[in-house]
């Protein structure tokens, strides 16, 4: 999977490739789907949510351009897989999940596998986790109509935020936002993507 679906499609960060090799994806999906763990496709994890396609996980993390040891905020813990991959590069990962059952399940899996530098919070992810801000990297694993101002405010100067954005709940543009100064941000388009909706006070309204 790593050589064909990730490196073979142009991703080159050795940190990201090594982290992807280290984390067993099968540990984060239902046992009934273990034979599909290394397919390059999203898979259902319950609660109408999915574990992202491995290539997209790698693309988003590579887009953060982490050098190692940073503090990273993840919005949308889901299965915990992306947080586990991030934890192999970042110094600390703070991940927020709005669905309580998923937050509890992912926290248990991550703790059980020894990912001690990952911290899980059940809350509205669109508001971030301000107690631990600022973050050198922020990754949002659900698509919203715009980048939440709360998240931009928690991004360190020089830090990068990667998020799917679009007016369609199911079709977005993956963007990278770099904080140039306290009041200046630069936005770049990365790829066309499809993510579940980002629900919350600064995302889409309504039930999942």
Domain for residue 203, yes or no?
no
3, pLDDT greater than 90: no
* Mean pLDDT value across the chain: 94
Residues sharing a CB contact under 8 Å with residue 105, sequence separation 6 or more, in sequence order = 79, 80
Positions of E strands within 31-134: 43-46, 49-51, 71-75, 92-97, 118-122
User: What pLDDT is recorded for position 5?
Assistant: 81
User: What pLDDT is recorded for position 56?
Assistant: 95
Over range 87-114, report the average pLDDT: 97
Answer positive or negative: Cα dihedral of 82, 70, 118, 206: negative
Domain for residue 208, yes or no?
no
* Residue 87 annotated as catalytic: no
208, pLDDT greater than 50: no
Domain for residue 171, yes or no?
yes
Mean pLDDT check: name the lowest of 6-10, 109-113, 127-131. 6-10
User: What pLDDT is recorded for position 48?
Assistant: 86
What is the residue range of 185's domain? 2-193
User: What pLDDT is recorded for position 71?
Assistant: 98
Domain for residue 206, yes or no?
no
What's 130's DSSP letter? Answer: G
Query: Which of 52, 63, 79, 87 does the annotation list as catalytic?
Result: 52
Residue 187 pairs with which residues in a beta bridge? 177
207, pLDDT greater than 60: no
> What is the distance between the alpha carbons of residues 170 and 180, in angstroms, rounded to a whole number?
30
Domain for residue 201, yes or no?
no
Q: What is the pLDDT of residues 124-167, one digit of tens each?
A: 999 999 999 999 999 999 999 999 999 999 999 999 999 999 98
User: What pLDDT is recorded for position 184?
Assistant: 97
Percent of the chain at pLDDT exceeding 90: 88
User: What pLDDT is recorded for position 10?
Assistant: 87
> What is the distance between the alpha carbons of residues 165 and 133, in angstroms, rounded to a whole number?
22
Our count of domains for the chain comes to 1
Domain for residue 166, yes or no?
yes
Domain for residue 198, yes or no?
no
171-181 vs 184-193, strand pairing mode: antiparallel
Q: What is the pLDDT of residues 68-94, one digit of tens each?
A: 999 999 999 999 999 999 999 999 999
Q: How confident is the model at residue 97 (pLDDT cuts 50, 70, 90)?
A: very high
User: What pLDDT is recorded for position 84?
Assistant: 98
Domain for residue 207, yes or no?
no
Q: Which two tokens stand for residue 68?
A: 């190692």
The enclosing domain of 17 has a CATH number of 3.40.50.150
Q: What is the pLDDT of residues 31-64, one digit of tens each?
A: 999 999 999 999 999 998 999 999 999 999 999 9
């Amino acid at each position: 999977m790593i050589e064909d679906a990730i490196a073979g499609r142009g991703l080159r960060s050795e940190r990201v490739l090594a982290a992807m090799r280290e984390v067993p994806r099968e540990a984060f999906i239902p046992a009934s789907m273990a034979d599909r763990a290394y397919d390059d496709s999203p898979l259902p994890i319950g609660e109408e949510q999915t574990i992202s396609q491995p290539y997209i996980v790698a693309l988003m993390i590579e887009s953060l351009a982490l050098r190692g040891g940073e503090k990273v905020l993840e919005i949308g813990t889901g299965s915990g897989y992306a947080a586990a991959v991030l934890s192999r590069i970042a110094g600390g990962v703070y991940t927020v999940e709005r669905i309580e059952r998923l937050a509890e399940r992912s926290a248990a899996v991550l703790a059980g596998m020894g990912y001690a530098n990952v911290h899980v919070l059940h809350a509205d992810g669109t508001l971030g986790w301000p107690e631990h801000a600022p973050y050198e990297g922020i990754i949002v694993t659900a698509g919203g109509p715009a980048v939440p101002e709360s998240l931009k405010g928690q991004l360190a100067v020089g830090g990068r935020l990667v998020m799917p954005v679009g007016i369609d709940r199911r079709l977005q543009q993956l963007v990278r936002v770099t904080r140039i100064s306290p009041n200046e941000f630069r936005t770049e388009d990365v790829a066309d993507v499809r993510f579940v909706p980002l629900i919350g006070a600064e995302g889409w309204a309504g039930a999942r």
